Chain A
Amino acid sequence: MKKSGYLLFLVTFILIGFGLVSIYSTSAIFANEKFGDSLFFLKRQLLWALLGSIAMLAAWKIKYELIRSLSKPLLFLTMILLALVLFPPLGREAGGARRWLRIGGFSFQPSEVGKLALLIYLSDYLTRKQSKIKKFSQGFLPPILVLGGMVGLILLQPDLGTGLLLGVVSLSLLFIAGARITYLTGLVLSSLPALYFLVVGVGYRQRRILAFLDPWKDASGVGYQITQSFIALGSGGMTGRGLVWSRQKLFYLPASYTDFIFSILGEELGFIGTASIVILFLVFLWAGIRIAYRAPDLFGYLLGVGITMTISLQAIINIGVATGSLPTKGIPLPFISFGGSSLLFNMIGVGLLLNISRRRKV
């Protein structure tokens, strides 16, 4: 393992550490009120982190060649899970969307497997079709159809945020692999009307856009979450109120231990805390890309870039939402937000990156 691998490993666990502390701090009062156990969320996240560590270790240590062979079965499995999640007994509905699959006592998000499955499939496909990548029907079209199918299923949940994330990462991989810019821009342009319809046609998304443009205009209505996020961040100042001393987590800021955990972190740890998180993700990004640059083959390269990009982009979107730089999207902050499947698959992703970094270029 190279220097970048160590760095990536270290950064990942620092972020997970930040996450566990923040989850406890933000959820304790709510958990105590709802479940009579202030450790309710922390315990669950710890369990997932443990599970994630094992899975990460497995992804790290399995035979490198095995990863590629998982491409098709994993894609197939994902599609089935994404289809199943849309149907009631299996798919659990929460907040008007079916994103969770209940298996036994656990529930997890198939779209998280989907991210990994799609990255492995694309990396494998683009490596195999390296020579035909400039062609349309033999090169460009098949992965777009797979992507389209998966994003389509995800949009049915509906989960526009994850759909967009997958789209952006996939097209970036196609771009890196050398697909024609004309095809890519053509695709983007032709999907714009659909995107417009998806945003303007759905009431809550349209309101979110309006809230993004001027949050203080209706601070007690559509702008509530974002303005409460500003208040949390702003009252943190330079050094913050100190761990556990957030006021905004006292039900002022909804989703304070999931999608808006960063704002509470900013209130408790101040600019020093938030800047540290951003810098940690910056280090993660650069270390991940460095691992990819030294990958043994194009498959590892593309997978490495894909995983690094997916995780970094989620961080950017999440923090972008918290700071009002992007309209509200339900994207968790990798390694930090409460949420088992997200943590598990991000850790598997890190395991795969470490696996890639383990191999020398042949």
Chain B
Amino acid sequence: MITRWHKFRTFLILLTLTAGLIYLLQRLYQIQLVEGETLRAKAKRQHQIDFRLSPRRGTIYDRNKKELAINIAVDSIYANPAKIRPVEGTVRKLSALLDISPVVIEKKLKSDKAFVWLARKVKKGLGAKVKQLSSAGLNYVEEVKRFYPKGKLAAHILGFSGMDGKGLEGLELYYDRYLRGAPGWDQSEKDARGREILSFRNEYSAPINGLNLVLTIDEVIQNIAEQELEKAFQKSKAKGATIVIMEPGTGKILALANRPTFDPNSFQDYLPSQHRNRAVTDGFEPGSTFKIITAAAALEEGLFQLEDKIFCEEGFYRLAGRTIRDVHPEGWLTFKEVVEKSSNIGAVKIGMALGKEKLYRYIISFGFGARTGVDLPGEGKGLVRPPRSWSKLSLGSIPYGQEITVTAIQLVSAVSAVANGGVLMQPRIVDSIINKEGEVVKKFVPRPLRRVISPDTAKKLTDILVGVVDEGTGKAARLKEYRVAGKTGTAQVAGVGGYLPGKFIASFVGYLPADNPQIAILVVVDEPQGTYYGGTVAAPVFRRVAEQVMAYLKMTDNRN
């Protein structure tokens, strides 16, 4: 018999279960609609994967389209440790193939992760060999790596880029935004095992490859400059050395090198001090090469003629309680001879005739004390103090290049202005930016900054500087085939509390052919051991470089 009581008690249970189902409806409403937004965001976070598609970095060419920095295909090898059996044998074989210690490999293979890198960016083809050891547990991906095919050549110009393809030094840094291109993205979704689900791929943008640089540098000239600089650096056991070769008419840098140097392919093995491009970053006291500027100012101002006599005090001249000395004491010298024989006293007298203000104006006009704006990173300004902070002694130092610092790039630019007839050019190292079809995207035309001296003054100054090489301190720079204009410099190195004994910076700056200059060259040797005169340390380097470069230029001119 089914009684009312049965039905009543059943009804209680029915209500309980009904309540349960209605509660679930409410829960679902809460989760799916009220909290839906938050949970959807969580879902998106765990499903979405973005693949970054790396662009190819631009190539760097010299002015003849020779490759200086390129990208090469490399293999990056990874493992899924759980799938490698037996471990011991594989470790041995991997160690031999990859040239990595078995201990390191074994540690990586004992990881409980499903993915470990064994070797990043190693030689192409190694990946395939490694994969043969265990097709289940070992694999590789192709990547690109920056490669500098010429090794140390032009290291300070090129700089280098890091593992992630970002420019870190040199042109790689300065032109990074052109070279790097733009990454592409592949937005997709993944399953819980991290695999991409192709049917859920929703956005793809192709990477944009970087643009290529064409430099003003000539690989052959750079090579000549580096070799000769290296020889001098080794021979003189110097602390450092720099060479810059510029085309005076355009401000184009044909070669630039420093010692000590480094190999950009393994930049991490060198000290940051070796990475530094001293030619643009470091200021130094130019010494006598600076007399070119003093002389230029005096000639332009019409204060002296070439044959005007200046008394050089027989080598000892007391000024404001200090004695200025000349290495070779002289009595009366012509203006021309003062520069040729590099008399400090003569230079001081010319400087005094100019006065603080005028001398300062020319120094600034020639581009000292300010960045030249060369397209290289980290450029220094040098140190030029304004006349109001000059001491009584300053006029007794600055005219021959002490108490002032300049960068190599400033000095070679200033001398180039004299060489080209008086116009200061903007120094440049990149000629153009081209795309992968070779079309010019951006062209840097030679840019005159200002006229600093008249063509007449420039010509007179060139005559003087030819005299320096023919009859003066720069005889070691003389060439048979060409008239060379130049100036030696031997500066003492300033330290704490005055100039350091036995420490010098020997330099030579000059240009040729004197009547129609094609190249201007600056050679600086920092703290050479033994002989330390600009005329004996730097001038021979200038000559050897000038000789080879002119021969090369003549050859290429004939060919064209």
Q: Does A297 sit within 8 A of B, measured CB to CB?
A: yes
Contacting pair A270 B191 (CB below 8 A): no
Q: How far is the CA of A247 from the CA of B46 in the complex (A)?
A: 10
Contacting pair B40 A178 (CB below 8 A): no
Contacting pair A266 B28 (CB below 8 A): yes
Which A residues between 223 and 252 are near B, CB-CB below 8 angstroms? 230-238, 247-248, 250-252
Contacting pair A234 B5 (CB below 8 A): no
Contacting pair B28 A323 (CB below 8 A): yes
Contacting pair A230 B18 (CB below 8 A): no
Give the residues in chain B near A252, CB-CB below 8 Å: 46-47, 191-192
Q: Does B353 sit within 8 A of A, measured CB to CB?
A: no
Of B22, B35, B189, B192, which contacts A234 at CB under 8 A? B35
Q: Does B502 sit within 8 A of A, measured CB to CB?
A: no
Q: Does B42 sit within 8 A of A, measured CB to CB?
A: yes
- Assuming A230-B39, A235-B36, A247-B200, is B24 touching A285 (CB within 8 A)? no
Contacting pair B200 A130 (CB below 8 A): no
Give the residues in chain A near B18, CB-CB below 8 Å: 282, 285-286
- Assuming A250-B192, A298-B1, is B46 touching A319 (CB within 8 A)? no
Contacting pair A235 B43 (CB below 8 A): yes
Contacting pair B13 A309 (CB below 8 A): yes
- Assuming A176-B6, A176-B9, is B32 touching A231 (CB within 8 A)? no
Q: Does B7 sit within 8 A of A, measured CB to CB?
A: yes
Contacting pair A282 B21 (CB below 8 A): yes
Q: Does B193 sit within 8 A of A, measured CB to CB?
A: yes
- Assuming A234-B43, A316-B21, is B33 touching A297 (CB within 8 A)? no
Give the residues in chain B near A266, CB-CB below 8 Å: 28, 32
Contacting pair B33 A238 (CB below 8 A): yes
Contacting pair B46 A285 (CB below 8 A): no
Of B17, B32, B42, B200, which contacts A236 at CB under 8 A? B32
Bitwise, B179-198 to A at CB < 8 A (1) or not (0) is 00000000001111100010
> Considering only CB atoms, which chain A residue lies closest to B14 in the complex?
A289
> Considering only CB atoms, which chain B residue lies closest to A227 in the complex?
B42
Interface size class of A (residues with CB under 8 A): 35 or more
| Stretch of A46-54, A61-69, A202-210, A273-281 lying at the B interface | A273-281
Q: Does B319 sit within 8 A of A, measured CB to CB?
A: no
Contacting pair B40 A234 (CB below 8 A): yes
Of A172, A235, A295, A312, which contacts B40 at CB under 8 A? A235
Give the residues in chain B near A232, CB-CB below 8 Å: 43
Q: Does B271 sit within 8 A of A, measured CB to CB?
A: no
Q: How far is the CA of A266 from the CA of B25 in the complex (A)?
A: 12
Per DSSP, chain B at the interface is helix
Contacting pair A233 B31 (CB below 8 A): yes
Q: Does A325 sit within 8 A of B, measured CB to CB?
A: yes
> Considering only CB atoms, which chain A residue lies closest to B35 in the complex?
A234
> Considering only CB atoms, which chain A residue lies closest to B21 in the complex?
A282
> Considering only CB atoms, which chain B residue lies closest to A297 in the complex?
B2
Give the residues in chain B near A235, CB-CB below 8 Å: 36, 39-40, 43
Contacting pair B33 A271 (CB below 8 A): yes
Contacting pair B40 A271 (CB below 8 A): no
Most buried by A among B7, B20, B23, B193: B20
Of B1, B9, B13, B36, which contacts A237 at CB under 8 A? B36
Most buried by B among A130, A252, A270, A286: A252
Q: Does A320 sit within 8 A of B, measured CB to CB?
A: yes
Bitwise, A247-270 to B at CB < 8 A (1) or not (0) is 110111000000000000010001
Which A residues between 186 and 236 are near B, CB-CB below 8 angstroms? 230-236
Give the residues in chain A near B27, CB-CB below 8 Å: 323-325
- Assuming A298-B6, A313-B17, is B24 touching A271 (CB within 8 A)? no
Most buried by B among A238, A250, A279, A309: A250
Q: Does A20 sit within 8 A of B, measured CB to CB?
A: no
Q: Does A350 sit within 8 A of B, measured CB to CB?
A: no
Contacting pair A230 B31 (CB below 8 A): yes
Contacting pair B17 A285 (CB below 8 A): yes
Q: Does B266 sit within 8 A of A, measured CB to CB?
A: no
Of A271, A298, A313, which contacts B28 at CB under 8 A? A271
Most buried by A among B7, B35, B189, B197: B7
Of A130, A271, A295, A313, which contacts B32 at CB under 8 A? A271
Give the residues in chain B near A233, CB-CB below 8 Å: 28, 31-32, 39
Question: Smallest Cβ distance from A319 to chain B, in angstroms?
Answer: 5
Contacting pair B2 A301 (CB below 8 A): yes
Which A residues between 312 and 330 are near B, CB-CB below 8 angstroms? 312-313, 315-316, 319-320, 323-325
Contacting pair B28 A275 (CB below 8 A): yes
Question: Smallest Cβ distance from B18 to chain A, in angstroms?
Answer: 7
Give the residues in chain A near B191, CB-CB below 8 Å: 29, 250-252
Contacting pair B9 A234 (CB below 8 A): no
Q: Does A293 sit within 8 A of B, measured CB to CB?
A: yes
Contacting pair A178 B28 (CB below 8 A): no
Contacting pair B31 A289 (CB below 8 A): no
> Considering only CB atoms, which chain B residue lies closest to A233 in the complex?
B31
> Considering only CB atoms, which chain B residue lies closest to A325 in the complex?
B27
Q: How far is the CA of A251 from the CA of B197 in the complex (A)?
A: 12
Of B24, B38, B197, which contacts A320 at CB under 8 A? B24
Q: Does B516 sit within 8 A of A, measured CB to CB?
A: no
Of B10, B13, B25, B38, which contacts A275 at CB under 8 A? B25
Give the residues in chain B near A248, CB-CB below 8 Å: 43
Of B5, B31, B33, B47, which contacts A323 at CB under 8 A? B31
> Considering only CB atoms, which chain A residue lies closest to B24 in the complex?
A319
- Assuming A247-B189, A282-B18, is B2 touching A295 (CB within 8 A)? yes
Give the residues in chain A near B117, CB-CB below 8 Å: none
- Assuming A271-B33, A282-B18, is B23 touching A325 (CB within 8 A)? yes
Q: How far is the CA of A248 from the CA of B44 in the complex (A)?
A: 11
Q: Does A6 sit within 8 A of B, measured CB to CB?
A: no
Q: Rank and list the top 3 A-B pairs by shortest CB-CB distance, nearest first.
A: A234-B39, A250-B191, A251-B192
Q: Can you identify 20 A-B contacts, CB atoms within 8 angstroms?
A: A176-B9, A176-B10, A178-B5, A178-B9, A230-B31, A230-B39, A234-B35, A247-B189, A266-B28, A275-B25, A275-B29, A278-B21, A278-B28, A281-B21, A282-B18, A301-B6, A319-B24, A319-B28, A324-B31, A325-B24
Give chain A's interface residues, CB within 8 Å of chain B: 29, 130, 172, 175-178, 230-238, 247-248, 250-252, 266, 270-271, 274-275, 278-279, 281-282, 285-286, 289, 292-293, 295, 297-298, 301, 305, 309, 312-313, 315-316, 319-320, 323-325
